[in-house]
Amino acid sequence: MCATTATRRAVLEERSTMTLNDQQEQRLAKLRSLREQGIDPYPPRCTRTHSAAEAIERFRRIEASLGDEPDPEAISVVGRVVAIRDLGRIIFSHIRDGSGAIQLYLRRDLLGDERFAWFKRFVDLNDFVEAQGNLFRTRTGEISVQVTGFRLLSKALNPPPDKWHGLSDVETRYRQRYVDLLANDETRRIFVVRANLVRALRRYLDERGFLEVETPTLQPLYGGAAARPFTTYYHALDQTFYLRISDELYLKRLLVGGYDRVYEMCKDFRNEGIDARHSPEFTMLEFYAAYCDYLDVMQMCEEMVVHAAEQSLGTLLIPWGEHTIDLTPPWRRLTLRDALIEHTGIDFLEVNDQAELYARARALGADVLPTTVWPRILDELLKTFVRPRLIQPTFVYDYPVELSPLAKRKPEDPRLVERFQLFIGGLELANAYTELNDPLDQLARFLEQARDRELGDEEAMPIDEDYVNALMYGMPPTGGFGIGIDRLAMLFTNQQNIREVILFPQLRVKPEPTGLAEDLAPYLDLAAAPDQVSGAAPSIDNDVGGS
């Protein structure tokens, strides 16, 4: 006992500064009172006849036949209490469920003094309640439920954020996304749009004969992109594994296997910097279509994104910061060569000398080093001078081979590959090629990557001999495509930071413990006790339509 007390005291002294605030203590006191009344603050079931939206829809439908009388049929709605306006002998309250909000109208003379007072005493913002009553329209015109009975469904111990400003602290919004979601309509909207977008993309591919597949997240060898991987250890196999940076090489193995069209939407992981457009853990959709080339894929890309916008937004005009993006096809197409000529005056097919390209890039103010290799300088020029200006949808195509070790060369110019990228709103959204299916050329490219790797390029791809072996069995001519789902969601929701479209973005863990467990320890007796859980009769006070 003494030892326990001493231990607890030590823990208390070590822990951080958190203590329960007055509002939490207030609500815990109410919870205690509920238990003392024999009321379960967290009953397992509820009764709902209508969602908030359905209730409002019902009243609109029958309103004309009612005259000024309330709907004679009683309904039951449920939801979180998001507003309480206490006017003395009447109370207005709004509850919200997943469909929307509906107003409750509580009258003392209808509910009875006791139940009416109980609502005032024990129902707080954030609680979930169930309410029975009759639909009617208030004097100010809002469809509401005239409440004849109510019941607590879930007692909230934390108050909501500011009812007017919501929660705006970015760190708290990311760390406690549940609070952000319950407080901010816009945050909820973003993830609905994202879900609708994803559904539309899947439907587009499903309807065109694509097979959705799943390939390994844990890979013995990473590939398909240039990036540092996250490394882990697989104890059962006693081997190092990597979280995938891409699923590309697995999906193309499936084309060797005989599937004509496959796709996968999955998380990829790249152990690199975090900024407004990059998350180390992000979602990518890749598809591969046999007997197609990159121009076919370009067409499909345009159709697919248009389809997704129509399905999830209902429009092709998208607000984006100061701009309005028009997704109406056809989208602009220009070669990388023309794009660079247009924005930098450099024709990379003419300037094929490393030193000269470096000098030209520096003259433009590009941040490149004398050691930056020719293709990387081009990439830098693209990022710095071209991409930010590509606000309206633009396909940039035909890239130098050195930047694209998995793409097929153009027959008419082997310095280039059949590759395109899609830019919208200054975002690099998608990347695609006519896939390289020549096993010997693929091996040569891998070997070139291996040389870069030895020269210190940590992101150069490792040689994947099994993939070369797969190609030796024959891969059909294929068009492949990858699109960043998070970035597409940013575009569709007009969000400039990728973390705004990721539900739980990673942040550095706060070093101190919060102390919450210690603070709540004295209240653990308020948790459901066995005798209250098993077979206890429902309380009269808290019963439906009680009093």
Residues in 68-127 at the binding interface with RNA, rule: CB under 7 A: 83-90, 92, 94, 103, 105, 107-109, 121, 124-125
Q: Residue 85 or residue 323: which is nearer to RNA going by CB? A: 85
Q: Residue 380 or residue 541: which is nearer to RNA going by CB? A: 380
One residue of 170, 195, 440, 472 binding RNA per CB under 7 A: 170
332-335 and 394-400 strand pairing = parallel
- Residues that bind RNA (rule: CB under 7 A) add up to a total of 71
6 binds RNA (CB under 7 A): no
Closest residue by Cα to residue 379 from 406, 348, 410: 348
CA distances from residue 498 to 210, 221, 284 in whole angstroms, order as listed: 28, 28, 13
DSSP E strand boundaries for 291-448 = 317-320, 323-326, 332-335, 394-400, 409-410, 413-424, 427-434
Please tell me the distance from the alpha carbon of residue 252 to that of residue 272, in angstroms, as a whole number: 25
430 binds RNA (CB under 7 A): no
Q: Residue 379 or residue 486: which is nearer to RNA going by CB? A: 379
Closest residue by Cα to residue 294 from 479, 538, 64: 479
The first and second tokens of residue 519, run together, are 């603070």
DSSP one-letter code for 26:
H
Using CA atoms of 171, 173, 174, 176 in order, give the dihedral in degrees to the nearest 10.
110
Helix (H) or strand (E) holding 289: strand 281-290
Draw the binding track, 335-374, toward RNA (x: CB under 7 A; -: no contact).
Answer: --------------------------------x-------
Closest residue by Cα to residue 243 from 204, 271, 209: 271
One residue of 200, 227, 386, 422 binding RNA per CB under 7 A: 227
Q: Residue 307 or residue 362: which is nearer to RNA going by CB? A: 362
Length of the chain: 547
Residue 81 — φ and ψ, nearest 5°?
A: -75, 115
Residue 137, Cβ density class (10 Å: 0-12 exposed, 13-18 middle, ≥19 buried): middle
One residue of 394, 431, 437, 495 binding RNA per CB under 7 A: 431
Query: Applying CB under 7 A, which part among 127-135, 235-243, 284-292, 400-408 lies near RNA?
Result: 400-408
162 binds RNA (CB under 7 A): yes
Draw the binding track, 245-284, toward RNA (x: CB under 7 A; -: no contact).
Answer: -------------------------x-xx-xx-x------
**Least distance (Å) from RNA to the CB of residue 146?**
8
One residue of 172, 232, 315, 352 binding RNA per CB under 7 A: 172
32 binds RNA (CB under 7 A): no
461 binds RNA (CB under 7 A): yes
**Least distance (Å) from RNA to the CB of residue 120?**
8
The first and second tokens of residue 350, run together, are 């003419």
Draw the binding track, 287-306, toward RNA (x: CB under 7 A; -: no contact).
Answer: --------------------
63 binds RNA (CB under 7 A): no
The first and second tokens of residue 484, run together, are 């960043």
Helix, strand, coil percentages, rounded to 5, for the chain: 40, 25, 35
Please tell me the distance from the alpha carbon of residue 118 to that of residue 540, in angstroms, as a whole number: 13
The residues facing 94 across adjacent strands are: 83, 103
428 binds RNA (CB under 7 A): yes
Residue type, 243: L
The residues facing 137 across adjacent strands are: 143
One residue of 9, 60, 163, 323 binding RNA per CB under 7 A: 163
Residue type, 267: K
159 binds RNA (CB under 7 A): yes
Residue 24 — φ and ψ, nearest 5°?
A: -65, -40
Identify residues 469-498 at the interface with RNA (CB under 7 A).
497
One residue of 132, 134, 144, 187 binding RNA per CB under 7 A: 144
Q: Residue 309 or residue 379: which is nearer to RNA going by CB? A: 379
317-320 and 281-290 strand pairing = unpaired
8 binds RNA (CB under 7 A): no
Please tell me the distance from the alpha carbon of residue 209 to that of residue 262, in angstroms, as a whole number: 8
Identify residues 184-203 at the interface with RNA (CB under 7 A).
none
Identify residues 501-520 at the interface with RNA (CB under 7 A).
507-508, 510-511
404 binds RNA (CB under 7 A): yes
Residue with tokens 């019902």: 58
422 binds RNA (CB under 7 A): no
**Least distance (Å) from RNA to the CB of residue 111?**
11
Please tell me the distance from the alpha carbon of residue 364 to that of residue 359, in angstroms, as a whole number: 9
Q: Residue 94 or residue 115: which is nearer to RNA going by CB? A: 94
130 binds RNA (CB under 7 A): no
**Least distance (Å) from RNA to the CB of residue 457?**
8
21 binds RNA (CB under 7 A): yes
The residues facing 369 across adjacent strands are: none
Q: What is the number of alpha carbons within 13 Å of residue 275 lying toward its C-beta? A: 3
One residue of 140, 233, 236, 525 binding RNA per CB under 7 A: 140
**Least distance (Å) from RNA to the CB of residue 530?**
30
**Least distance (Å) from RNA to the CB of residue 112?**
12
One residue of 36, 61, 164, 239 binding RNA per CB under 7 A: 164
Q: Residue 84 or residue 316: which is nearer to RNA going by CB? A: 84
Please tell me the distance from the alpha carbon of residue 135 to that of residue 6, in angstroms, as a whole number: 59
